[in-house]
Amino acid sequence: MGLLDIFRNRTQDPSAKMAKERLQILIAHERAQGQHRAPTYLPEMQKEILEVIRKYVHVEDDAVKFEVEHNEQYELFELNITLPEKLEGTQRRE
Amino acid sequence: MSKVLVVTSGKGGVGKTTTSAAISSGLAMAGKKTVVIDFDVGLRNLDLIMGVERRVVYDIVNVIHGEAGLNQALIRHKEVDNLYVLPASQTKDKDALSEDGVGKVLDDLREEGFEYIVCDSPAGIERGAQLAMYFADEAIVVSNPEISSVRDSDRMLGILASKSRRAKEGETAIKEHLLITRYAPDRVGTGEMLSVEDMMEILAVPLLGVIPESNAVLQASNAGRPVNLDKTTDAGQAYEDAVARLLGEERPMRFIEIEKKGFLGRLFGRS
């Protein structure tokens, strides 16, 4: 340790700062890849959306598909609903 | 109402078992009927840390296979009331634990009136770790202020949010807690260790507690007594704070500032 080091700002030395920066980059990347941390409200929202749809048409549990895509600038939320082929209990207005 | 609590981390050696022992003891001392389960099949160690290794007769695998009743396998802690230990088996059979089997054991424990069921996860993300977290209502993610531990904690948080029963069945998500262990404020001060703030910023999980790097932890495991049974130690007190927070109490964080050395301490270089 040189004499100058004594006077240096000791609050954030390179090594912990480096660790933090490396972690931030790495974790952002890993989360984006594996969708590790999809929003925690997702399952609940999925359930509610399913309930709303069922007010009008009967669909199976797996008829509603959610995808969350992370990008550097934005997150894309994709919702896919498969309606049954025969629309029972609904009237066609034509 | 009973709660299933998993103590997990991904990375090994960060203090999961020490934490499981301390948190379960703390909950029991707070009057909650508590059981702590070792999920590290093949490499059990919770029994040693809890000081019950000589009283293990049956284990969780025996219970799942119907070779022993739950009450035969549960070890009552001699020093702490309301505290029970369910050891792991030393079998090398990787598939000794099944999802249905573990689910049944947890149901039976609920029926026995256990208020807290603490699951001590093995390291890694293999079967034992997955089963330990699968049924959890809350998770304590143990992390050291060290780069690989933080990364693994983030991986584990991802797994909790996607592979647990709550995630799969669309229930409200597992309540996550971050517990930082082996924290050395002086090294944070010199900039060679990640700070509490750094870790919270990266992991974005509410902080349950900060356990300082402490001689007391090794001494406690040498003696087979959960570290918070001795209320005079720094680590013991930090765990007690964490337990209180888990039970809804608000407490300020201690042991995160550099301890000021007294005159003699400075003279002899010991705190």
Instruction: With CA atoms as reference, report the closest residue to B211 among B189, B240, B244.
Output: B240
Confidence of residue B233 (pLDDT cuts 50, 70, 90): very high
**In this model, does residue B11 exceed pLDDT 50?**
yes
**Interchain proximity B150–A23, CB inside 8 Å:** yes
- Best B141, B144, B151, B163 residue to mutate vs chain A (most A CBs within 10 Å): B151
Tell me, what's the pLDDT at A12?
47
What is the radius of gyration, based on Cα positions, of chain A? Answer: 25
**Interchain proximity A20–B194, CB inside 8 Å:** yes
| Mean pLDDT score, B98-111 | 97
Tell me, what's the pLDDT at A86?
63
**In this model, does residue B125 exceed pLDDT 50?**
yes
Tell me, what's the pLDDT at A58?
84
Confidence of residue A40 (pLDDT cuts 50, 70, 90): low
Q: How far is A89 from chain B (nearest CA, A)?
A: 27
| Mean pLDDT score, B229-234 | 95
Write down the mean pLDDT value for chain B: 94
Question: What are the tokens at A1?
Answer: 């340790």
**Interchain proximity A38–B189, CB inside 8 Å:** no
- In our burial notation (b when 16+ CB lie closer than 10 A, e otherwise), range B140-150 reads bbbbbbbbebb
| Mean pLDDT score, B165-175 | 93
Block residue for tokens 């550099």: B258
Contact list in A for residue B154 (CB cut-off 8 A) is: 27, 30-31, 36-37
Angle between helices A14-34 and B196-203 (to 10 degrees): 10
| Mean pLDDT score, B46-59 | 97
Tell me, what's the pLDDT at A39?
64
The backbone torsions φ and ψ at residue A19, rounded to the nearest 5 degrees and listed phi first, read -60, -45
Q: Does B193 touch chain A (CB under 8 A)?
A: yes
Can you say whether the dihedral through the CA atoms of B23, B27, B29, B30 is positive or negative?
Answer: positive
**Interchain proximity A15–B171, CB inside 8 Å:** no
Tell me, what's the pLDDT at A28?
87
**Complete edge-to-edge strand list for the sheet that includes strand B175-183:** B75-76, B83-86, B34-38, B116-120, B3-8, B138-143, B175-183, B207-212
| Mean pLDDT score, A28-55 | 75
B contact residues 144-183, partner A, Cβ 8 Å cutoff: 146-147, 150-151, 154-155, 157-159, 161-162, 166-167, 169-173
Proportion of chain B in helix, strand, coil states, percent, rounded to 5: 45, 15, 40
% of chain B with per-residue pLDDT over 70: 96
Block residue for tokens 């709550």: B166
**In this model, does residue B271 exceed pLDDT 50?**
no
| Mean pLDDT score, B54-71 | 96
**Interchain proximity B161–A37, CB inside 8 Å:** yes
Question: What are the tokens at B25?
Answer: 């003891």
**In this model, does residue B255 exceed pLDDT 90?**
yes
| Mean pLDDT score, B203-208 | 96
Query: Which pTM value belongs to this model?
Result: 0.80
Q: What is the dihedral of CA B239, B241, B246, B247, to 10 degrees?
A: 130
